[in-house]
Amino acid sequence: MEATMESNSTPSPIKLITPRRFGDDRGWFSETYSEKGWAEKGVRCRFVQDNHSYSRPAGTVRGIHFQAPPHAQDKLVRCVRGRIMDYAVDLRKGSPTYGQHVAAELTADNGHQLFVPVGFGHAFVTLEPDAEVVYKVSDIYAPDCDGGVLWNCPTIGINWPLPEGGPTLSPKDMVLPALADFDSPFTYDGQPLLPL
């Protein structure tokens, strides 16, 4: 397995990991997760649940979501069918990069995975129809800890690659608070958000 390495000596809390694929004329094989291997890349948490989402139309936006303590979740996200643009938004109070985000294109072909730790909101948009996303989380789903920030918050300023008809959203995602109206349950841990 190989990881995209950050150019700064300070480790970034967000990790873009590309597992190695072993191919021949039949196709390929890849180890998509190894606790020991991923820990060597900076992913040091224990995952307890796998989630799988299917989005029929291109332009489906899911997010910006998180779970608050005591059931806050680290996430390890990958696209297993189609293509998505995946986002991590810094929601840690006191962070010098509060409200800023990084993004990576995750596709079934490139095999990239994005690690989104506690303290960051997570979102993605599907870039083609019938996209499937799987992600590991480090804590159980807890509806009372479920939260989010408005997907098109102008302070965050994500430039979503949307189709001409605009996004497909859930009713929940349409009414989440903007960053200015949001009281974050997360605090800065000293690790700045760095470019991927």
Residues pairing with 27 in the sheet: 24
Residue (of 92, 127, 108, 68) closest to 14 by Cα position: 92
d(CA 86, CA 124): 4
pTM equals 0.93
Is pLDDT larger for residue 149 or for residue 4? 149
At residue 11 the predicted structure's pLDDT band, cuts being 50, 70 and 90, is: confident
Asked if 135 is an active-site residue, the reply is yes
d(CA 40, CA 115): 13
Q: Return the closest-CA partner of residue 119 out of 13, 20, 3.
A: 13
Kindly calculate the radius of gyration of the chain based on its CA atoms and give it in whole angstroms: 16
pLDDT at 10: 56
pLDDT one-digit tens code per residue, 137-162 = 999 999 999 999 999 999 999 999 99
54 noted as active-site residue: no
pLDDT of amino acid 12: 85
Q: Is the pLDDT of residue 189 over 60?
A: yes
Catalytic residue among 33, 87, 135, 141: 135
Catalytic annotation, pick one of 65, 101, 112, 122:
65
Single-letter code of the amino acid located at 7: S
Q: Could you tell me which residues are beta bridge partners of residue 49?
A: 137
- What strands lie across the sheet with 75-81, from one edge to the other? 2-3, 15-18, 113-116, 75-81, 131-137, 49-55
**How far is Cα 133 from Cα 55, in angstroms, rounded to an integer?**
8
Mean residue pLDDT across the chain: 94
Structure tokens at 175: 């009414």
